[in-house]
């Protein structure tokens, strides 16, 4: 249970970090290390060079402007969770964070690291997908913005190139009046979700749903939007029949095979129950 | 039976790269040249002889190796010694006074019989100390305390006495703050 051999680089600029990545095939980025170091201890990951981002100035900042919360690559989960300015404009972040592992892990693990690790059952990728967020990636060819819907490809696989560094995550601030909620089922608190649902509901003046966003994780090979369920809810008053329709519309999205944690049928059951619960909670918060 | 020698390619450029790290550990500056793949838990135990930090699962699940990194609880088995370069580490050895007088959290664990074999105890205690020293109100309901302890596994006690000990530790800490403020 010790990491395999690797070379260690501790660059002080993004440019040096990118060049360390692009000149060393098999190099990997190290931020908080709360997913990568255990993977290395298990010998599941064996980087040629570890490029540690912690000495690069400016990566540990959180800013809110133009309706976007920008989270730097070295911002720890706990820092974002406890940031009162963030909580004032996007309270769902703190709620979701309570489900991310445990405080000692959140003290070290980074938000951007979690997004790049892209576990199909992880909460922060779900949140980015739910709110149409994005990440900023810097590589040898310059920087680009990758939308959440284009970022997550497969379990632990993103469209980030191997020589790119994600320097920021962008979480859009929800519109005033939007109601957001999240819930998950896990066997033990802090574990990855067996199934999790996030919802964003906006209502018209007459009480009908003007916009519904639903995202899920743990139920397939990546965090995903439940587009058919969103369509089933839009324009309705969220009566029982509408919620049932949304649950039925999600069934095809639940593709995770039976595993040691749950069967596919059980995940379908959980997803249905969570959709009803979370949509109701989000609707109650919508103004 | 013949066994084929495994031919596993080793990725590293040099055989076992080393780096010189300088850390503040329990108030003292230490400098060592170590393998870059050395975990902080092994650094504390093998380089500094601070064997109070225990090693359990070595993948971040059990919490036995929890220490304080820059004032906040963290897993020393999920932190490389090179990552801790320049940072401040506190281990369980920092808690008791020079005469052996116990820290309030240690006192509470003793009073409440919150340990049996003691293997998980240093990690539990460092996590609790980190929570007690953090800003903001603590949730001292059973549920809140169990949430606080959720990243530390104990296989002996069934947790009931540990939950009591955390509440007691919070009381003792509060008392000592009041006394300090009054005196």
CATH of the domain at A189: 3.30.390.50
CATH of the domain at B165: 1.10.150.120
CA A214 to CA A246: how far, in whole Å? 10
Q: Higher confidence at residue A124 or residue B137?
A: A124
Residue of chain B whose Cα is closest to the Cα of A43: B59
Q: What residue numbers bound the domain in which B137 lies?
A: 104-177
Instruction: Give B137's pLDDT tier (boundaries 50, 70, 90).
Output: confident
Of B80, B127, B136, the CB nearest to A104: B127
* Chain A positions in Cβ-Cβ contact with residue B88 (cut-off 8 Å): none
- A208 and A251 co-located in one domain: yes
- B85 and B131 co-located in one domain: no
Whether B6 maps to a domain, the answer reads: no
Last residue of a domain, one of B33, B66, B94: B94
Whether A1 maps to a domain, the answer reads: no
Residue of chain A whose Cα is closest to the Cα of B60: A38
Last residue of a domain, one of B63, B94, B125: B94
CA B90 to CA A235: how far, in whole Å? 56
Inter-chain touch A104–B80, beta carbons under 8 Å: no
Instruction: Give A118's pLDDT tier (boundaries 50, 70, 90).
Output: very high
Average the pLDDT over A248-276 and give the result. Answer: 96
CA B52 to CA B90: how far, in whole Å? 11
- A281 and A190 co-located in one domain: yes
What pLDDT was estimated at residue B2? 53
Cβ pair A218, A187 in contact under 8 A: no
What pLDDT was estimated at residue B183? 53
A205-240 pLDDT, tens digit each:
999 999 999 999 999 999 999 999 999 999 999 999
Collapsed DSSP state (helix, strand, coil) of residue A153: strand
Q: What residue numbers bound the domain in which A114 lies?
A: 62-172
Q: Do the interacting molecules here have an ipTM over 0.85?
A: yes
Instruction: Give B1's pLDDT tier (boundaries 50, 70, 90).
Output: very low
- B33 and B87 co-located in one domain: yes
Average the pLDDT over B139-168 and give the result. Answer: 96
- B108 and B84 co-located in one domain: no
Average the pLDDT over A171-185 and give the result. Answer: 97
Q: Hey, which residues 33-72 in chain A have their CB within 8 Å of chain B?
A: 33-34, 37-38, 40-42, 46-50, 52, 54
- Per the structure, the count of domains in chain B is 2
What is the DSSP track for A123-148?
HHHHHHHHTT-EEEEEETTEEEEEEH
């Amino acid at each position: 249970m010790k990491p395999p051999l690797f070379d260690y680089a501790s660059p002080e600029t993004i440019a040096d970090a990118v060049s360390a990545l692009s000149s060393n095939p098999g190099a990997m980025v190290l931020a908080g290390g709360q997913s990568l170091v255990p993977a290395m201890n298990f010998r599941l990951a064996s980087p040629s060079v570890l490029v540690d981002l912690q000495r690069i100035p400016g990566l540990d900042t959180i800013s809110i402007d133009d309706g976007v919360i920008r989270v730097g690559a070295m911002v720890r989960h706990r820092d974002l969770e406890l940031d009162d300015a963030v909580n004032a404009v996007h309270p769902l972040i703190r709620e979701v964070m309570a489900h991310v592992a445990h405080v000692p892990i959140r003290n070290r693990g980074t938000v951007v690291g979690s997004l790049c690790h892209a576990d199909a059952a992880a909460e922060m990728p779900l949140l980015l997908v739910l709110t149409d967020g994005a990440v900023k990636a810097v590589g040898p060819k310059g920087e680009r913005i990758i939308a959440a819907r284009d970022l997550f490809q497969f379990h632990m696989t993103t469209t980030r190139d191997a020589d790119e560094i994600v320097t920021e995550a962008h979480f859009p601030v929800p519109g005033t009046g939007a109601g957001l909620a999240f819930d998950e089922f896990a066997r033990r608190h802090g574990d990855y979700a067996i199934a999790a649902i996030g919802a964003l509901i906006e209502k018209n003046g007459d009480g009908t749903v003007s916009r519904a966003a639903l995202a899920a994780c743990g139920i397939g090979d990546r965090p995903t939007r439940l587009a058919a369920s969103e369509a089933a809810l839009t324009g309705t008053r969220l009566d029982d029949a509408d919620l049932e329709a949304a649950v039925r519309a999600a069934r095809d999205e639940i593709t995770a095979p039976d595993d040691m944690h749950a069967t596919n049928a059980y995940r379908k059951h959980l997803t249905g129950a969570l959709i009803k619960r979370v949509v109701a909670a989000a609707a109650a918060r919508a103004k | 039976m013949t066994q084929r020698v495994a031919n596993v390619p080793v990725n590293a450029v040099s055989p076992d790269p080393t780096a010189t790290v300088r850390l503040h550990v329990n108030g003292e500056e230490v400098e060592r040249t170590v393998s870059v793949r050395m975990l902080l838990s092994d650094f504390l135990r093998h380089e500094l002889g601070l064997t109070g930090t225990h090693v359990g699962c070595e993948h971040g699940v059990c919490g036995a190796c929890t220490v304080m990194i820059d004032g906040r609880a963290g897993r020393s088995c999920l932190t490389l010694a090179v990552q801790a370069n320049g940072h401040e580490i506190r281990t369980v050895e920092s808690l008791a006074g020079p005469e052996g007088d116990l820290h309030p959290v240690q006192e509470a664990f003793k009073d409440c019989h919150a340990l049996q074999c003691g293997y998980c105890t240093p990690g539990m205690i460092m996590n609790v100390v980190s929570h007690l020293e953090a800003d903001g109100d603590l949730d001292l309901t059973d549920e809140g305390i169990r949430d606080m302890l959720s990243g530390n596994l104990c296989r002996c006690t069934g947790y009931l006495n540990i939950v009591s000990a955390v509440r007691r530790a919070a009381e003792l800490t509060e008392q000592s703050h009041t006394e300090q403020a009054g005196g």
